[in-house]
Structure 1
Amino acid sequence: MNSTLSMDKQSIMAKSRADIAQNLPEGLWSDKQKVALTCRILFAQGHDSGLAGQITARCENPAQYYTQPFGFGFDEISTDNLLTVDEDLQVIEGEGMANPANRFHSWIYRARPDVRCVIHTHPPHISALSMLGVPLKISHMDSCMLYDDVAFLANWPGVPVGNEEGEIITAVLADKRAALLCHHGLVVAGKSIEEACMLAIQCERAARLQLLAEAVAPIKDIDPALAKEAHDWILQDKRSKAGFAYYARRTARMLNLHI
């Protein structure tokens, strides 16, 4: 067997991808459990803002999705109180009502069949950038999972409960995985629940790093080719699932949950 010390980088990366796909751990949770865990994880990561924000995931019926009931915080969500709603926000299963702002999720799901989970939150550092009208700048290796994948909505359309807001947010998101909404917050559109959760965590961390760095000096640009390489490397499906499982365990310890 040849030593890996003599292999070129691309060959090592290809071998490592195969090893990651086969060996990284992931949790064996249902989609409803993943949605509830995402609510708790993002609460622990500072994404809560009272009753603001929604986390949704497609059901087996692609015209329906899971969401939390309006009136509950992220830290209160469990599989027992999640709702199943249709794209008109009519409750199919569960008690209570969906947040009326979920309407723009319906528009995203209709336009993006690749999206399995939509996260909308108002975390502090993303919200601070949104108040400044400043796009998210990616210039750190960890943040490269977001490179060229975060859109920017410069004009706030108001409270997102109408179809117009759904059309506007969906259009600016286009084929990207996230968008920073001026005077508002964050929206993430993930190919899986795990990916969406990891993206949301990293968006807020990237915003925090940006504000810290810009307080000292202008941020230096990152090499586009290397950033794209890091983007694709970090966003491996199994890596997202392993990262999600880690944050689920970490949050369970913090909030004394049994998962």
Structure 2
Amino acid sequence: MATPFKDASKISIGRNTIPVPPTFSDPLEHRAFLKFRLAQAFRIFAKYGYDEGVAGHITVRDPIRQDCYWVNPKGVHFKIIQPEGLLLVDRGGKIQENESGPSRRLSRAAYMIHSSIHQARPDVVCVAHSHTTYAKAFGLLGVPLDPLTQDSCAFYEDHALYSEFRGIVVDREEGLAIANVLGSKKALILQNHGILVATKSIESAVFFFISLEKCCKVQMVVDQAAAARGLKPRLIDPVSAASTRESLGSEMGGWFDGIPEFQLLEHEEEKRFEYVPAPQEIV
């Protein structure tokens, strides 16, 4: 499978034909694709300036060892992350030596937050968290997003607010608390901290993360403009907001909306996924 844009299966809706996520018969190829995609996700985040020193992490559940996930090594810039540098970590926070890259530094916060979510949510494949500018600023207000725009409706009743900031997440109890507040939703605003997205694909996680950051910015701009003019922003009614969420906020919708980010990166880097099976040992 060279690339999902060319070789993914397609479905027809009316007169339109749209791609669907690729499937894999070879679990090793599936693992290789997810690692390639995860490394791409970090480089996309770098393009948007979502790096913050050693903070921020994206994880993807391993398709072979379901109790393990791949994560970025601590202290490596998002822009230079490649598949071979990723770490495979088990539920207990142990780095799997034979599978992981040369840099073996694991962020304790990444382990505490992501392992708790992956364990609590078997449906989740990818979890993305970082300290982005507008999310940090909006998070200080301690309120959820309003259904102000078509885009923000994707998060209508599908995001939560974690209001307990106790410093860097270094213990299991805090990680479990974050997972508990997230519940079955796809996004979380961490007050005084940042944002987090948990979805069934890397593509949808990247898209919804970018969109959530933008929605935080829009709401702050709107609130400021409305206050200056003595106005009250007009919210989208609950029925329309819920209906819009079912379309734009769906997992398939997020996957499809996320694809262009990876298309652009592949165009810029001239680098696409190619799977070369390891040679079989002769016994």
Relative distance call for 1:245 and 1:211 in structure 2 (3 A) is same
Aligned length: 242
What are the Cα deviations for residues 181-225 of structure 1, in whole angstroms up to 9, with x where unaligned? 111001111122222111101110100111111111143221111
Match of 1:72 among 76, 82, 85: 76
Alignment-derived partner of residue 135 in structure 1: 144
The amino acid that maps onto 2:247 is W
Match of 2:3 in 1: none
Matches of 1:47 and 1:137, distance apart in 2: 23
User: Do the aligned partners of residues 236 and 23 (structure 1) sit closer, same or farther apart at CA in structure 2, a change above 3 Å counting?
Assistant: farther
**Residue 77 of structure 1, CA deviation:** 1.1
What SS class does the counterpart of residue 188 from structure 1 fall into? strand
Question: 2:229 aligned with 1:225, yes or no?
Answer: no
| Distance in 2 of aligned mates of 1:82 and 1:258 | 18
1:193: which partner in 2? 202
Letter of the 2:168 partner, please give it: V
Identity rate of aligned residues, in percent?
Answer: 32
- Runs of at least 5 residues in structure 2 that lack an aligned partner in the other structure: 1-10, 23-31, 227-231, 273-283
Task: Determine the C-alpha separation between the residues in 2 that align with 1:37 and 1:225.
Answer: 37
* TM-fit CA distance, 1:140: 0.5
Deviation at 1:168, TM superposition (A): 1.2
Q: Which of 158, 166, 173 is residue 175 of structure 2 equivalent to?
A: 166
Tell me the SS of whatever aligns to 2:13: helix
Which of 16, 20, 24 is the matching residue for 2:18? 24
SS state at 2:143 partner: coil
The answer to whether residue 258 in structure 2 is matched with residue 244 in structure 1 is: yes
SS in 2 for 1:114: coil
* 3-state secondary structure, aligned to 2:264: helix
Amino acid aligned to 2:70: Y
Q: Could you tell me which amino acid in structure 1 is paired with residue 107 of structure 2?
A: N
SS at match of 1:24: strand
Residue of structure 2 equivalent to 1:258: 271
State the distance in 1 between where 2:251 and 2:264 align: 20
The answer to whether 1:39 aligns with 2:42 is: yes
The offset of 1:249, in angstroms, is 2.2
What is the 5 A alignment of 1:195-210?
Answer: 195-210=204-219
Cα deviation for residue 160 of structure 1 reads: 0.8
Q: CA deviation at 1:174?
A: 1.0
Alpha-carbon shift at residue 18 of structure 1 (Å) = 5.0
Deviation per CA, 1:85-127: give whole Å up to 9, x if none: 1122211121312211121111111111111111111110001
Q: Which amino acid aligns with 2:13?
A: D
Give the CA deviation at 1:227: 0.9
CA distance in 1, matches of 2:249, 2:17: 16
CA drift of 1:253 comes to: 4.8
Counterpart-to-counterpart distance in 2, 1:98 and 1:176: 26
Which of residues 144, 168, 187 in structure 2 aligns to 1:178?
187
TM-score (norm 1): 0.86
1:105 paired residue among 106, 114, 119: 114
Cα distance, 1:238 vs structure 2? 4.1
3-state SS of 2:85 partner:
coil
SS in 2 for 1:23: strand
Contact 1:129 1:136 in 2 (8 A): no
CA separation in 2, counterparts of 1:74 and 1:257? 18
Note the C-alpha offset of 1:153. Answer: 1.1
Q: Deviations over 1:138-181 (max 9, x none)?
A: 31102221111110012212211211111210111111111101
Mean Cα displacement is larger for which, 236-245 or 46-55? 236-245
3-state DSSP of counterpart to 1:243: helix
Q: TM-score when scaled to structure 2? A: 0.79
Shift of 1:247: 0.5
Matching residue of 1:121: 130
- Asked whether the 8 Å contact 1:54–1:120 carries over to 2, the reply is yes
Structure 2 distance, partners of 1:27, 1:176, is: 21
